[in-house]
Structure 1
Amino acid sequence: MPDWLLPLLVPLAAALAGALLVGAILLALRPRGGDSEGVLILADRMEALSDRLDAAVAAQNERLGRALAESADRTQDSARRIHERLAVIDAARANIEALGGQVHSLASILGNKQARGAFGEVQLRDMLADRLPADGWAWQFSLTNGTRCDALIRLPFPPGPIAIDSKFPLEAWQALRRAPDEAARAAAERRMAADIRKHVDDVARKYICPGETAEGALIFLPSEALHADLHALFGTLVAEAGRRGVYLVSPGTLWAVLGAMRALMRDVRLRAEAQQLRREVAKLAEETERLDRRVASLKRHFADMQADVQQIETTAQKITAAGARIEAVEMDPPAAAAARAAE
């Protein structure tokens, strides 16, 4: 029976019992001559009692209605919160399923050699494009020995261009991580050590060309976990590879290395621009010196010209004076001329 039904049945049962009791009393006290007045008084009292019972039942019903309404509101609010939580759980479940699909896809990629190589190449290329200028690196560059490296970072000498290889054998590492016992783990470690040594030998032989590349090359590992395991389990081989000029880098360490290389390229570019600016300043100083010589020569020519002008002015003044004298002589009358001659 529901919890809300019992409070409703109790007042109804009480009202019904009261009504039955009133009816029974009325039947038992039917009017018999002189007792009619007492019966009427008892009937009035029973009626008043019935009214009070009805009022009590109505009040109880009203309280019960309010309680039921409040209970319904709380139930609806709880249902609404439950639906919201279910929606959140559904969204989380969808995200988990999507993440599981991505993890499965990543596992499929890493399980296939060709797909794994393509994944490493794409990751390497994105990092190079993001950290270095376009003219600072080349993709699938062919060296003079006929080897094609995955990428070549064009650094100036020293140290020189650095070749990068993005392929690495992961089968032995995966077997090492899945080894069920110590014997399988030891076999996987021996296989992984042999694979590392062979790959380092190939990179050192193919990607380090004296006079063409730097005295070192990089092996890009697309997994931070693999990089950590190599340093933790095969530190001797990693140190040996470093002595041969082959360095194993993860995405995190390559990011830092590319940052240093970009700073080196910027420094080289600034030095080249400074040299070019110095040459231009030297040319400007030479042109300025030539301009000074030509200005001095022009000043000398101008001084000579001024002297010539002054001499010309003096000659012109003399000519003007002689012309004036000649004109004065021609305009004198013959008598005045004779008088001056006699004097």
Structure 2
Amino acid sequence: METNTLLAAPLLQLGVHTVSFGGALLFCFGAVALFFLVTAWRASHARAIAEVQAAERARDAEMRMAEILKSQAEMQGRMQTMAEVFGSRQAELNQSIRERLDGMTSRIGQTMTEQSKSTHENLAKLQERLAVIDTAQNNIQSLAGQVVQLQAILANKQTRGAFGQSRMEAIIADGLPRGAYEFQATLSNHNRPDCVVRMPNGMPSLVIDAKFPLEAWSAIRDAGTPEAKKLAIAQFRRDIEVHIRDISEKYLISGETQDTAFLFVPSESIFAEIHENFEGLVQKAHRARIVIVSPSLLMLSIQVIQAVLKDARMREQAHLIQGEVIQLMEDVSRLDERVRKLQGHFLQANKDIDDILVSSGKVTKRGAKIEALEFGEKPDDDAPAKTAGPAAGSATGQLRLRVVEDE
């Protein structure tokens, strides 16, 4: 009873309608039941849709599987075709590779043969060059020995003097004839210069001295400190001044030798450094009438002296030359006269040849006229035939002359 009363109790007022608690509870149960029904329907509908979709997917899968199987069959056919094509291409490729390998092998063999030949030729040339190098090395070794010998020679004062003396003698002997010079000649004051050159026409002789103080110069070169070099330079100056004074006092003799003497320096480099760094010594030598000469200047001076000697000999032989020239002119005159006579003979021979040509021309023309004469027989048809007589059966011969006019 109380439950019915509770269910019938009003819950809310909706306009004119009164909603009781029981009605509201009933409405809620109905709504829940409807919700479950809708949910079940939706689930069944979803399952149906899922089944339909699954069926469609199965069909699609079957169709795709069939397409895949078809594609696989086509792929197998294509792969078989490609395998066949690849096999043929591989065979062709193998053949091409084999041919190329054969060609490369032949080319490599030919190249190796040529390379071997070239290598042998280069080795032969290298051996020749090595032989030349060995020869040059031997020459260098011999030259080094000669240099060592030269150094040993120049280390001694006497041998250095002999070296300068030999160079001076070689230059003079090559440039002047025998008799025009004398080595180690004795002067009137009993001094003996290294060389005396005989001048022409009785002129005084030229004195050449080759005793250059090379040891003082070598001391300058060998100086290790500035002080030692300074002392060596001072010693060199003193030695040169003493040597210049000795030449001036011993070898310059009035009327017997020239007023100037030569001091021979056996090296061009030493000569150049003396003129560059020791100008005072050069000036002192000039004032003392001593000329410092190098090998080239001595050679030039000897050539000038040789020309003077030749000119003097030419003047001495001038009368002989003049006589030879006169005889030569007489011979030329006779030759001219004989040439003129020969020219007259040639002119007369030309005239005779012209006359012969005129005569031969006339003979040719007469022969042409004779050749133009024609001989022949012409029978007389009107004359009666005779049966007897010496002229029986003969015809009268006629001569026809064709005159050829002179051209």
Same fold, judged at TM 0.5 (above) = yes
Q: How does 1:39-188 map to 2 (within 5 A)?
A: 56-57=97-98, 60-61=101-102, 63-78=104-119, 80-81=121-122, 84-85=125-126, 87-88=128-129, 90=133, 91-156=135-200, 160-188=204-232
Identity among equivalent pairs (%): 32
* 2:179 alignment partner AA: D
Distance 2:127 2:279 in 1: 50
Root mean square deviation, CA, Å:
3.4
Q: Corresponding residue for 2:235?
A: 191
Distance 1:138 1:255 in 2: 16
Structure with the largest fraction of helix: 1
Distance 1:157 1:234 in 2: 37
Distance 1:77 1:180 in 2: 56
Following superposition, the deviation at residue 251 of structure 1 comes to 0.7
Following superposition, the deviation at residue 204 of structure 1 comes to 1.3
The partner residue of 1:251 within 286, 295, 303 is 295
Q: How does 1:155-304 map to 2 (within 5 A)?
A: 155-156=199-200, 160-274=204-318
Distance 1:194 1:266 in 2: 41
Following superposition, the deviation at residue 190 of structure 1 comes to 0.8
* CA separation of 1:95 and 1:209: change in aligned 2, threshold 3 A: same
Deviations 1:94-148 (A, max 9, x none): 4433433333333222222222222222222221122112121112101111111
Following superposition, the deviation at residue 69 of structure 1 comes to 3.7
Following superposition, the deviation at residue 73 of structure 1 comes to 2.5
Q: Corresponding residue for 2:27?
A: none
TM-score relative to the length of structure 2: 0.50
TM-score relative to the length of structure 1: 0.59
Distance 1:263 1:256 in 2: 11
Secondary structure (helix, strand or coil) at the match of 2:193 reads: strand
Distance 1:201 1:81 in 2: 67
Asked if structure 1 preserves the Cα contact closer than 8 Å seen for 2:201 and 2:312, the reply is no
Asked if structure 2 preserves the Cα contact closer than 8 Å seen for 1:159 and 1:215, the reply is no
Deviations 1:224-270 (A, max 9, x none): 11111111111111111121121111110001111111222223333
Q: Corresponding residue for 1:300?
A: none
Asked if structure 1 preserves the Cα contact closer than 8 Å seen for 2:157 and 2:215, the reply is no
Distance 2:231 2:246 in 1: 23
Asked if structure 1 preserves the Cα contact closer than 8 Å seen for 2:172 and 2:302, the reply is yes
**Count of aligned pairs between the two proteins:** 236
Worse-matched range after superposition: 260-269 or 145-154? 260-269
* 1:238 alignment partner AA: V
Following superposition, the deviation at residue 65 of structure 1 comes to 4.5
Following superposition, the deviation at residue 157 of structure 1 comes to 7.0
| Consecutive unaligned residues in structure 1, runs of 5 or more | 1-45, 281-343
Distance 2:234 2:266 in 1: 22
Secondary structure (helix, strand or coil) at the match of 1:213 reads: coil
Deviations 1:73-100 (A, max 9, x none): 2254245335534643614444433433
- Higher RCO, 1 vs 2 (CA within 8 Å, ≥6 residues apart): 1
* CA separation of 1:159 and 1:197: change in aligned 2, threshold 3 A: farther
* CA separation of 1:176 and 1:264: change in aligned 2, threshold 3 A: same
Distance 2:127 2:247 in 1: 55
Asked if structure 2 preserves the Cα contact closer than 8 Å seen for 1:151 and 1:165, the reply is yes
Distance 2:160 2:112 in 1: 61
* 1:84 alignment partner AA: K
Distance 1:227 1:57 in 2: 81
* CA separation of 1:134 and 1:180: change in aligned 2, threshold 3 A: same
Distance 2:220 2:112 in 1: 62
Secondary structure (helix, strand or coil) at the match of 1:125 reads: helix
Asked if structure 2 preserves the Cα contact closer than 8 Å seen for 1:139 and 1:151, the reply is yes
Secondary structure (helix, strand or coil) at the match of 2:184 reads: strand
| Consecutive unaligned residues in structure 2, runs of 5 or more | 1-86, 324-407
Worse-matched range after superposition: 117-126 or 246-255? 117-126
Secondary structure (helix, strand or coil) at the match of 2:263 reads: strand
Distance 2:102 2:219 in 1: 76
Asked if structure 2 preserves the Cα contact closer than 8 Å seen for 1:160 and 1:213, the reply is yes
Worse-matched range after superposition: 267-276 or 68-77? 267-276
